[in-house]
């Protein structure tokens, strides 16, 4: 089948920059793609790369889009190489939307959501606020400040955490082995759901050793940007969790098949995409048994603009999070490519 193809780039400031071990994230860049089939049906998809995380660059994604021109055969869309996971996600999303009706296929399902806590001491106040709002799962960014200070904040967070709540720590690969051991020893026998990416992706032997030596569950994130990387770690016997950012990993149907076939222990997590990409992931999670853990989509209204943030996500995600997600309004608010 032949499709009409067009794309537009977006650049959205983050009013409250996100601090991680990779540095300060001040704006989100990406590309929206639009497909139109021979029957005139339209579908939209979002390309949301994070180059410093290990994806293709925005320039590489834009080059692929330009090569498609204004018409593209379905076979050509299928030939995008696996390393361009963000492009492949968006194209699959747009094609799936062509045949998607507005019928609610979630069956009334609701899934818990983990709230993102900022780096540093600000996390304590936000934890209290989010607990009051009904959240019971939290993810805290570490590896950003002085380790002694952060360990003190950890104690404060756990002092405020109810027995039925869970805390995740995300180091974004910032720790050395010695520092990771210090943190994992501190976390042992405490209500830590898991520690995410304690050391850099290249330190594969260290990751395996830490997973074997400490009782705290470890999770891979930067190590499994694309689905192929998750498959490799799984084949090698990784005993921990896979934090997958679906908009980076590739087509959603491929991810869903892998989870279903292998029963992988997966957390589905945001890549700070807009409501367009997020809605596709949440629809998949709500309509299929993809995870038994809280969704990592409690990032708040990160763009400060409902056009891009979409519906507010609270402690439970349900079909209401999918409202107004066709992409048509977003597309109209973006300038054409020149």
Cα separations in angstroms, 327 against 34, 45, 217, 260, 306: 9, 8, 38, 28, 13
| Long-range own/partner contacts, residues 231-236 (CB < 8 A, 24 or more apart) | 231/258, 234/262, 234/264
Provide the residue count of the chain.
338
Give yes or no: 245 in active site. Answer: yes
pLDDT at 323: 72
Please state which CATH number belongs to domain 111-328. Answer: 3.20.20.120
Q: Is the pLDDT of residue 325 over 80?
A: no
pLDDT at 103: 59
Sign of CA dihedral 76, 62, 12, 328: negative
Q: Pick from 122, 174, 128: which is nearest to 147 by CA?
A: 174
Backbone Cα Rg of the chain: 20
Look at residue 237 and give its three-state secondary structure. Answer: coil
Question: Tens digits of per-residue pLDDT, 13-38?
Answer: 999 999 888 888 999 999 999 999 99
pLDDT at 22: 85
Q: Is the pLDDT of residue 266 over 60?
A: yes
Spatial distance between the Cα atoms of 187 and 12, rounded to a whole number of angstroms: 37
One of 141, 166, 292, 335 is an active-site residue; which one?
141
Question: Tens digits of per-residue pLDDT, 144-156?
Answer: 999 999 999 999 9
Domain parsing of the chain, residue ranges? 2-102, 111-328
User: Do 2-102 and 111-328 have matching folds?
Assistant: no
Q: Is the pLDDT of residue 338 over 60?
A: no
| Multiple choice CATH, 2-102, 3.30.390.10, 1.10.10.10, 3.20.20.140, 3.40.228.10 | 3.30.390.10
Per-residue DSSP letter, 8: E
Question: Tens digits of per-residue pLDDT, 90-138?
Answer: 999 999 999 776 556 788 899 999 999 999 999 999 999 999 999 999 9
Question: Tens digits of per-residue pLDDT, 232-253?
Answer: 999 999 999 999 999 999 999 9
* Cβ atoms of residues 20 and 86 within 8 Å: no
One of 8, 130, 166, 245 is an active-site residue; which one?
245
Question: Tens digits of per-residue pLDDT, 155-211?
Answer: 999 999 999 999 999 999 999 999 999 999 999 989 999 999 999 999 999 999 999
User: What pTM did the predictor assign?
Assistant: 0.95
Give yes or no: 139 in active site. Answer: no
pLDDT at 105: 75
């Amino acid at each position: 089948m032949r499709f009409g193809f067009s794309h537009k780039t977006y650049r959205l400031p983050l009013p409250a920059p996100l601090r991680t071990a990779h540095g300060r994230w001040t704006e989100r860049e990406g590309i929206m793609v639009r497909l139109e089939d021979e029957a005139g049906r339209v579908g939209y998809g979002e390309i949301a790369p994070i180059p410093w995380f290990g994806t293709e660059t925005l320039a590489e994604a834009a080059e692929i889009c330009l090569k498609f021109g204004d018409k593209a055969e379905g076979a050509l869309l299928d030939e995008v190489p696996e390393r361009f996971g963000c492009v492949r996600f968006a194209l699959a999303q747009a094609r799936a939307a062509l045949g998607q009706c507005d019928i609610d296929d979630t069956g009334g399902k609701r899934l818990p959501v983990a709230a993102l806590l900022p780096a540093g001491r600000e996390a304590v106040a936000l934890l209290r606020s989010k607990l009051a709002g009904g959240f019971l799962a939290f993810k805290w960014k570490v590896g950003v400040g002085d380790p002694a200070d952060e360990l003190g904040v950890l104690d404060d967070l756990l002092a405020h955490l109810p027995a039925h709540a869970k805390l995740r720590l995300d180091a974004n690969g910032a720790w050395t082995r010695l520092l990771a051991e210090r943190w994992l020893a501190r976390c042992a026998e405490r209500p830590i759901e898991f520690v995410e990416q304690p050391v850099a992706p290249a330190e594969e032997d260290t990751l395996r050793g830490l997973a074997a030596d400490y009782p705290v569950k470890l999770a891979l994130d930067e190590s499994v940007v694309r689905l192929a990387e998750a498959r490799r770690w799984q084949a090698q016997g990784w005993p921990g969790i896979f934090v997958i950012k679906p908009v980076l990993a590739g087509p959603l149907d491929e991810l869903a098949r892998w989870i279903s076939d292998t029963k992988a222990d997966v957390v589905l997590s945001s890549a700070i995409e807009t409501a367009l990409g997020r809605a596709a992931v949440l629809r998949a999670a709500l309509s299929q048994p993809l995870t038994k853990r809280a969704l990592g989509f409690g990032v708040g209204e990160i763009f400060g603009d409902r056009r891009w943030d979409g519906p507010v996500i609270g402690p439970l995600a349900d079909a209401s999070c999918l409202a107004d997600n066709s992409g048509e309004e977003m597309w109209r608010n973006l300038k054409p490519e020149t």
